Structure 1
Amino acid sequence: MLNNITIGQYFPGNSVLHRLDPRTKIAVLFFLIVAIFVFDQPIAYLVLTLLTFGCMVVSRVPMKTQIGSLKPLWWIILFTFLIHLFSADGEVLFHAWILTATWEGLVRGFFICLRLALLLLLSSLLTFTTSPLKLTDALEAILSPLKSIGVPAHELAMMMTIALRFVPTLIEETDKIMKAQQSRGADFLTGSILHRLKNVVPILVPLFISAFRRADELAMAMEARCYRGGVGRTQMKELRFAPLDYMAWVATAVLIVALAAIAIISPKGFL
């Protein structure tokens, strides 16, 4: 039921994406997300789509798992498509009750949904190919310039990474609790809204208790290992850019320049 949610999971490997410096992956992801929002030409979307699926293949993460990262938000994607389909003005395709679908709405809804799908797939690739420890080091390195103004870079990076790391654990725990309650006769799929909300309570109470217990165990484990924050801490493996990272930077720069040239030559987009 909830096992299809893959947010925060890491798949060990030795692919090109796995070997990239995590700072490079975060920066490239940022520029690709900006490109997805800024450039709305058909050719630009084609290039970004091919690039995304190329990265999915290169990562060597099971394709079924990567596509499965879209499942938790499929209803949002569908809702977004329907909103654009029936709200845009243009050539009428068909009427559904008091709603009117247009060709322009169909095209705009498709490209908006494609944009959301690309965002989810690219973001999932970051966690699929980056271990939580490397992700923490990368976030701390990126936020380190803010230490001069009092921003606790290490603590923020650690907090975000721990939260991301425990998402799959809490999802698995929720699935176990739901199955246990269903074996006792609980029904989460039928009945009125109030009845369903009432049945959620037996899930939330043990889930919160389990989450607090895990948080306490983690705090005790970190304290037993003399963790005192980021002051004076060093890293066993320092992050260093390799030739592969510089190639990724150059490829990203070439891609952005090419998409900008396409936007100048063909400024009219679908969005």
Structure 2
Amino acid sequence: MSAETFLQVKELSASQFFEIWRHYDSDGNGYMDGEELQTFIQEFQEARKKGGLDLTPEMKTFVDQFSKNSEGKVGIVELAQILPTEENFLLFFRCQQLKSSEDFMQIWRKYDSDHSGFIDAEELKSFLKDLLQKANKQIDDSKLSEYTDIMLKMFDENNDGKLELTEMARLLPVDENFLIKFQGVKMCSKEFNKAFDTFDSDGNGYIDENELDILLKDLCEKNKTVLDINNLATYKKNIMALSDGGKLYRTELALILCASEN
């Protein structure tokens, strides 16, 4: 079945949802925008009509909002809100624990238990299992393994079998995912280490809130088209959620500011 045909299905499986996402996010940047989004909206409406399926109020709102918005961006979370996906899988995109980037950062610290800078398949499986349990949903281990595999395929951009912070952050709605903005200001490891040493002004091996404030102001000044200094407090709060009791170590800050060199 093609992605367009899947759009006529009354309830999508996790794998079918993934196929639709992969088809329309054709450049693999983590969201649909521009021509991708307009193509999806057109084919979505046509498919529902051919299948004799009316648009739900949520679907109509989505179409009205994005069909006339050339600057619009739709992530996996937004797509999951309008496609009739199987209930358990849909829960991952309606997770009440992920209300903001700050909440997400705190959850990341919990499940990246070894502070490796990524979540592997077993850590992801634990994360998904906990989400389902909090929603009072019980599924067997084979189904949980299937969901884990699908989530890895959806989010693992570099196909290394594990999720980095920015990859996992696709569980956030686009407008809540502040990491999208920081993609445009990431540094190579040499530049990052130099910046960390510069702004760790007392040389104690970590950056505190005041030092981070100075670092972010510098970044905003150098990247005015990407970062808005008026959002400095939000940036700082979200990043400090990764800290260990107010101490932001090199490995944690690197998750935000150091580009992957895989």
Normalising by structure 2, report the TM-score: 0.29
Which protein has the larger Cα radius of gyration, Structure 1 or Structure 2? 1
Normalising by structure 1, report the TM-score: 0.29
Could you say which structure has the higher helix fraction? Answer: 1
